[in-house]
Amino acid sequence: MRDPAENGQLALLLEVAGTPKPGNVDRERDYGDLRFEHFLAGAVGARTGLRAAADGASIGTAFESSIEGMSGQSGGNTQFGALLVTVPLVRAAADGRLTPDGVTETVEATTVEDACAFYEAFEHVGVAVDDPPEGLDSLDVRRGAAATDALRERGATLYDVMALSADRDGVAAEWCSGFERSFEAAGWLLDDEGPIHRRASRAFLRLLAAEPDTFVITRNGETAAEEATRRARAVLDGEADADALAEEFVARDTVWHRIELPISQAKPRYD
């Protein structure tokens, strides 16, 4: 039987192997310098941090370790947002608390030192982020480890940091809502039929079709986000073909999962 760390790594591997996922790298499509192999290597590299989470390490420490390992391949940042979701889930599962309430208790128990480790993770990868909310320049994640003094002075835990962006950020919203969408998508995968790469693709499209994605808005603008949602709905409604849409986006170089993944707009269902 696999343990939580192995399940976490397998989830990263299966997610990127899902195909077709229009606008994202999958096992049949690469985007220039962002390739399928980078995601595979990143998931393998993240294993040390996932193992730490399963063995009882704090979420911040395990997350930074995961990012450091992930970043050791030539693609750079491939799964920053995914790991920010996966590490708490692995930690909760190791404690026998893999439920919305259990994961909520796990993230609410994070500390200031967890927040510091989260910021230090930005030292390992290149990221692109929006400006911080007004009055919070000292907590700009672009400062990386240089922001740790401000975190300690403020007494901000990692959960507090997520709460600051929960109204505009997919991953932060997961942290502050009992990982609602993550558990919902897991249910879709379990209830669906067929090979896992097709089930993952359908879950991907359902999440994309549900609402305009914050990362797409930040990276490509509101018009692109609305197009992504509209066209994902068309695929789900049988009005368009997912493979054809994926090929079109490759031709247009429309990619919504980039190496420089902004954590303030990350999305748990893509990366």
Model confidence pLDDT, tens digit, residues 137-150 = 999 888 999 999 99
Distance (Å, whole) CA 233 – CA 40 = 29
Please give the pLDDT value at position 255. Answer: 57
Distance (Å, whole) CA 69 – CA 258 = 18
Q: CA dihedral defined by 107, 113, 119, 121, rounded to 10 degrees?
A: -90
Those residues whose C-beta lies under 8 Å from the C-beta of residue 244, and which sit 6 or more positions away, are none
Please give the pLDDT value at position 221. Answer: 77
Which domains are delineated in the chain? 4-182 (1.10.4200), 192-259 (no CATH)
Q: How far apart are the first and last CA of the chain?
A: 26
Which CA distances in Å does 237 have to 38, 107, 202? Answer: 32, 37, 12
Tokens 């090929």, residue located: 247
Tell which residue, 138, 131, 175, has the closest CA to residue 154.
138
Confidence of residue 93 (pLDDT cuts 50, 70, 90): very high
Please give the pLDDT value at position 264. Answer: 30
Highest mean pLDDT among 40-44, 73-77, 255-259: 40-44
Confidence of residue 165 (pLDDT cuts 50, 70, 90): confident
Tell which residue, 146, 134, 148, has the closest CA to residue 60.
148
Distance (Å, whole) CA 2 – CA 149 = 39
Please give the pLDDT value at position 224. Answer: 81
Distance (Å, whole) CA 7 – CA 30 = 25
Confidence of residue 196 (pLDDT cuts 50, 70, 90): very high
Please give the pLDDT value at position 132. Answer: 78
Which CA distances in Å does 57 have to 6, 21, 66, 100? Answer: 16, 33, 12, 20
Mean pLDDT along residues 123-127: 83
